[in-house]
Structure 1
Amino acid sequence: METTAEKKIILEVDHLKQYFKVKTDSLFKPKTFVKAVDDVSFQLFEGETLSIVGESGCGKSTTGRAILRLDEPTDGQIFFAGKNILELSKKEMRKLRGDLQVIFQDPFASLNPRQTVKQILDEAMAIQEVVAKPQRMDRMLELLRYVGLPPESLDRYPHEFSGGQRQRIGIARALAVNPKLIICDEAVSALDVSIQAQILNLLKELQKQFQLTFLFISHDLSVVRHISDRVMVMYLGKVVEIAEKKTLFDSPLHPYTQALLSSIPTLDPTLKRERIILKGDVPSPMNPPSGCRFHTRCPFAMEKCKTEEPALKELDRNHFVSCHIAENLPQ
């Protein structure tokens, strides 16, 4: 089995910050910011699926948007294939977008309702200049075959398809420009469970066929367990744990990860699982707690957690955790 050290890094995020200024009704009030993503660092390896999980508002989707530069990051560096994309001009970034694609949560909102499937796919190939015009029809038919849609779909509009079919069109559009990395932002959360399974299996087949790399953003841990190679857990704009899928699901070290995993429903009525109920609400990202951001809800918090922010450390092989409690556990 290939080790992490032997894998090629395709994406490296270094101390990424994404702050949003909050509007005030007075000129004399100090500036206030929502710290949606606050000092996030991680690596993504070629050909793998890294999933980002966490509660709503933890910064998952904002991280994805910052990597794509749909929102300009406040600080940090993002290296894709060795290039710092935050230093690229708009023209250079536009060219790079062929390698960096996204599949959004709502397939209906992300597709132009005034364009047919043919126009949607043709526009993507024309902008990136990946296929000459005479060959585009053959390429479009090929893309439909890859995603499991009939050829006659080309002349239909998005509203004429079901939600699962529209998501297949979104996947075909992403594939049309021959990407290296696809960010899936809650790509199946708006679909029925049976359709979710079909789309997830399709993504896995396409990944194998085209050597794709996925950054998969989701709140559904069952979905994450099915598709991931590694999992990154975020809480209130911070990374709290990163590990290979089996390690994280079998031996989570951070108390927040343990609470998340305890909430996964089981179909086996004989299986007894202790549910960890977190007290209190998620603090405001405008005024996050000092020290460890999770200490206000952590059942194991100690004085050090309230004052000293834990660093993300490798406590076991390829298992990174940001927690004072976990650091003191016997390895």
Structure 2
Amino acid sequence: MKSIAERKVLLQVNNLKQHFTVKNDALFKPKTVVKAVDGISFELYEGETLSIVGESGCGKSTTGRAILRLDEPSAGEIYFGGENLLTVKKKDMRKLRGDLQVIFQDPFASLNPRQKVKQILNEAMATQKSVEKEKRPERMKELLEYVGLPLESLERYPHEFSGGQRQRIGIARALAVHPKLIICDEAVSALDVSIQAQILNLLKQLQRQFNLTFLFISHDLSVVRHVSDRVMVMYLGKIVEIADKKSLFDKPMHPYTHALLSSIPVPDPTIKHERIILKGDVPSPINPPKGCRFHTRCPFATDLCQETEPELRELEKGHFVSCHMVEKI
């Protein structure tokens, strides 16, 4: 298998911003802007799994939706296969949907309850014209085999399946159109732990089989550790650290990443485990702090952190950190 450095860049995001305007009740009151994602840049390589982690509200899911153009980004560039998705007309964007698929958090809400499984899969193939009509029944059988569901599932409705089985249907629907990139938005967080492991192993198996690329969005660091090649940590709409999985878990450099990793439960009660408790609440994305956005909760913050926003710097090969004090921590 090729190393990350040897792989082709499939997705490149440059200075992506996603700001939402909130309506005000007062007639002459200025508009309120929520800076959900505020100028992030990263690359995703062909055949890898890049995970995005962070607290609720950090911009993880918003980033995924912006890449898919489910929400139109406020600014930036998103290059997929060398083409800027933000310059593609909406009518032409549909043609690219086959290459860009998503697996949602709630499999029941993302499946049409009035359609049988065969109709759900057929609709995906018909919309993208990815499989000729006469070949679709055979393709459906293949898809069910890939995701580990029996053939009779084609004649059943979503409510007749368990949560894990419904997520397998969602995966089959994504595979039906031969995608290159699949965005997994909290794809296992609604499932029992034992089922989570099955779905994660299935995703890794399918990735090897079809050379899939995953952007995996999750708040569960144990899951991220199992599935990722690289990990990107976000805080309040900004990237604070990006590194390969081993480097980030073995040697985190940003204070926020330290705090996140300290929250992972240790199953052995004989091992002393010091948890870092961050003081205060996450600031509002409507009015984020000046300078480093983490400085209001950081135990190492200085006057520089309060005034100047740190750049995302490569401190070790492939390990990028956005922190003024990282060398002194």
The equivalent residue for 1:276 is 276
Corresponding pairs, count:
329
Answer yes or no: is the 8 Å Cα contact 2:4–2:48 preserved in 1.
Answer: no
**Which aligned runs of 4 or more in structure 1 are off by greater than 3 angstroms?**
1-5
AA partner of residue 87 (structure 1): T
Cα shift readout 1:189-230 (whole Å, capped 9, x = no counterpart): 000000000000000000000000000000000000000000
Alpha-carbon offset, residue 112 of structure 1:
0.3
Answer yes or no: is the 8 Å Cα contact 1:102–1:184 preserved in 2.
Answer: yes
The equivalent residue for 1:67 is 67
The equivalent residue for 2:104 is 104
Is it true that 1:249 corresponds to 2:249 in the alignment? yes
Q: Which whole-Å CA distance do the structure 2 matches of 1:81 and 1:325 have between them?
A: 37
Q: Which whole-Å CA distance do the structure 1 matches of 2:175 and 2:7 have between them?
A: 23
Q: Which whole-Å CA distance do the structure 1 matches of 2:130 and 2:28 have between them?
A: 52
Alpha-carbon offset, residue 6 of structure 1:
2.2
Q: Which whole-Å CA distance do the structure 2 matches of 1:204 and 1:270 have between them?
A: 33
What is the SS of the residue equivalent to 1:43?
Answer: strand
Alignment of 1:274-313 (within 5 A): 274-313=274-313
Q: Which runs of 5+ in 2 are unaligned?
A: none
AA partner of residue 264 (structure 1): I
The equivalent residue for 1:130 is 130
AA partner of residue 214 (structure 1): F
AA partner of residue 296 (structure 1): T
Q: Which whole-Å CA distance do the structure 2 matches of 1:91 and 1:266 have between them?
A: 50
Cα shift readout 1:115-148 (whole Å, capped 9, x = no counterpart): 0000000000000001111100000000000000
Cα shift readout 1:230-265 (whole Å, capped 9, x = no counterpart): 000000000000000000000000000000000000
Alpha-carbon offset, residue 3 of structure 1:
4.4
Alignment of 1:315-330 (within 5 A): 315-328=315-328
The equivalent residue for 1:206 is 206
Q: Which whole-Å CA distance do the structure 2 matches of 1:186 and 1:205 have between them?
A: 18
Cα shift readout 1:255-306 (whole Å, capped 9, x = no counterpart): 0000000000011111111110000000000000000000000011111000
TM-score, normalised with respect to structure 1: 0.98
Q: Which whole-Å CA distance do the structure 1 matches of 2:271 and 2:248 have between them?
A: 20
Alignment of 1:42-121 (within 5 A): 42-121=42-121
The RMSD of aligned alpha carbons is 0.9
Is it true that 1:34 corresponds to 2:40 in the alignment? no
Cα shift readout 1:71-93 (whole Å, capped 9, x = no counterpart): 00000000000000000011211
Alpha-carbon offset, residue 2 of structure 1:
4.1
Q: Which whole-Å CA distance do the structure 1 matches of 2:327 and 2:312 have between them?
A: 10
Percent of residue pairs bearing the same amino acid type: 77
AA partner of residue 285 (structure 1): P
Answer yes or no: is the 8 Å Cα contact 1:17–1:38 preserved in 2.
Answer: yes
Answer yes or no: is the 8 Å Cα contact 2:183–2:217 preserved in 1.
Answer: yes
The equivalent residue for 1:9 is 9
Answer yes or no: is the 8 Å Cα contact 2:21–2:34 preserved in 1.
Answer: yes
Answer yes or no: is the 8 Å Cα contact 2:16–2:37 preserved in 1.
Answer: yes
Alpha-carbon offset, residue 327 of structure 1:
4.5
Answer yes or no: is the 8 Å Cα contact 1:52–1:232 preserved in 2.
Answer: yes
Answer yes or no: is the 8 Å Cα contact 1:315–1:327 preserved in 2.
Answer: no
AA partner of residue 244 (structure 2): E
Cα shift readout 1:22-74 (whole Å, capped 9, x = no counterpart): 11012211121010000011000000000000000000000000000000000
Answer yes or no: is the 8 Å Cα contact 2:236–2:285 preserved in 1.
Answer: yes
Cα shift readout 1:2-27 (whole Å, capped 9, x = no counterpart): 44432210000000000000110122
TM-score, normalised with respect to structure 2: 0.99
The equivalent residue for 1:169 is 169
Cα shift readout 1:123-179 (whole Å, capped 9, x = no counterpart): 000000011111000000000000000000001000000000000000000000000
